[in-house]
């Protein structure tokens, strides 16, 4: 497999694997704008030269948009290989390149989010264990911080206290999200509109700075949905998924009007 690195110089002409479309698409433009501001922080976006979802995105943990105590580590935003690219060892190749690059930059190791059981948009824990990662911290909602230490004696990374006990004070739905995930640019407004149509309280908090993301009340910042203060999911919602969630929680116009 041939790989190439997306940089500030080629960003406009290269496709972004997690949102394959033209630059006028709101998902693509949102993601590219976010990337453009991260390159100076040391972000690396390494992808297949072929068109498709086969890439790894990582950044020095000091600049990760997550509440971490992981100085000296490299944080993996996303490692995604899917479709026709699966089953060929490409994820291992991407991870190996990340490891070699991180070691060359003097990093203590890598860290990434996962959980005990595979969840959408989080790394597969079985794969991480197979590749030598281990759990070094866990939040109350089951989100885990996994790490691969280059030096066994290095201090392990951890979540900041604000992320250890994910909760919010507001009633109704509260969503924390960033532009790191391109799907948010399209689907957050759709869910906001759906909630409005259903008479449901919904507040979307767009984390737009590194500092805000690093002090968020959740280990997952790309998408963290709460209901009545309790963390629900990191899985991006469209209108159908959100309506299904409302049904499962028995939330809707009538119950909200009575509240």
> Does one domain contain both 155 and 218?
no
> Does one domain contain both 63 and 158?
yes
Q: In degrees rounded to 5, what are phi and psi of residue 20?
A: -90, 100
Summarize the confidence of residues 140-145 as an average pLDDT.
96
> Does one domain contain both 71 and 171?
no
Taking a C-beta distance cutoff of 8 angstroms, is the pair 16, 28 a contact?
yes
> Does one domain contain both 70 and 87?
yes
Alpha helices in the chain (DSSP H): 26-36, 90-104, 125-130, 161-164, 183-197, 210-214, 239-249, 253-258
Confidence class of residue 253 from pLDDT cuts 50, 70 and 90?
low
CA 12 to chain centre: 22
> Does one domain contain both 140 and 192?
no
pTM equals 0.93
Terminal CA-to-CA distance of the chain, rounded, Å? 57
Domain boundary among 126, 146, 162: 162
- Alpha-carbon distance values, 132 to 90, 109, 110, 125, 126 (Å): 17, 11, 11, 11, 10
CATH number for the domain spanning 209: value is 3.40.30.120
- Alpha-carbon distance values, 97 to 24, 112, 258 (Å): 31, 16, 56
Of 31, 35, 32, nearest to 43 (Cα)? Answer: 35
> Does one domain contain both 146 and 194?
no
Rg (CA), the chain: 19
Q: What is the overall mean pLDDT for the chain?
A: 93
Q: In degrees rounded to 5, what are phi and psi of residue 239?
A: -60, -40
> Does one domain contain both 168 and 155?
no
Domain boundary among 162, 194, 215: 162
The domain total for the chain is 2
- DSSP three-state, residue 197: helix
| Whole-number Å distance between alpha carbons of 249 and 246 | 5
Per residue in 162-171, pLDDT (tens digit) is 999 999 999 9
Of 139, 98, 135, nearest to 234 (Cα)? Answer: 139
> Does one domain contain both 108 and 19?
yes
> Does one domain contain both 193 and 230?
yes
| Whole-number Å distance between alpha carbons of 96 and 192 | 40
Summarize the confidence of residues 63-91 as an average pLDDT.
95
Q: Interior CA angle at 191 toward 178 and 121, to 5°?
A: 50
> Does one domain contain both 132 and 21?
yes
Structure-block tokens of residue 73 = 């580590």
CATH number for the domain spanning 154: value is 3.40.630.30
Domain boundary among 106, 140, 162: 162
Confidence class of residue 251 from pLDDT cuts 50, 70 and 90?
confident
Burial label for 62, CB within 10 Å (0-12, 13-18, 19+), is middle
> Does one domain contain both 120 and 40?
yes
> Does one domain contain both 158 and 198?
no
Identify the pLDDT of residue 235: 94
Confidence class of residue 252 from pLDDT cuts 50, 70 and 90?
low
List the domain range (segments joined by +) for residue 71.
3-162
Structure-block tokens of residue 95 = 């991870």
């Amino acid at each position: 497999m041939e790989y190439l690195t997306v940089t500030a110089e080629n960003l406009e002409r290269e496709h972004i694997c997690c949102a394959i479309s033209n630059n006028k698409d709101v998902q693509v433009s949102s993601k590219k704008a976010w990337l453009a501001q991260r390159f100076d922080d040391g972000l690396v976006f390494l992808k297949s030269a072929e068109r498709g979802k086969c890439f790894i995105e990582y950044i020095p943990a000091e600049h990760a948009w997550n509440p971490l105590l992981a100085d000296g580590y490299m944080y993996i935003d996303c490692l995604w290989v899917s479709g026709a690219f699966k089953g060929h060892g490409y994820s291992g190749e991407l991870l190996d390149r990340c490891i070699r690059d991180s070691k060359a930059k003097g990093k203590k190791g890598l860290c990434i989010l996962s959980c005990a059981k595979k969840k959408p948009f989080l790394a597969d824990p079985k794969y991480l264990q197979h590749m030598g990662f281990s759990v070094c911290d866990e939040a109350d909602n089951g989100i885990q911080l996994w790490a691969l230490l280059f030096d066994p004696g290095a201090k392990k990374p951890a979540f900041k206290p604000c992320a250890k006990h994910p909760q919010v004070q507001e009633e109704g739905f509260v969503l924390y999200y960033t532009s790191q995930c391109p799907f948010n640019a399209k689907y957050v407004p759709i869910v906001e509109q759906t909630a409005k149509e259903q008479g449901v309280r919904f507040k979307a908090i767009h984390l737009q700075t590194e500092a805000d993301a690093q002090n968020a009340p959740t280990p997952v910042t790309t998408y963290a949905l709460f209901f009545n203060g309790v963390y629900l999911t990191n899985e991006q919602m469209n209108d159908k998924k959100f309506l299904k969630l409302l049904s499962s929680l028995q939330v809707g116009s009538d119950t909200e009007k009575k509240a």
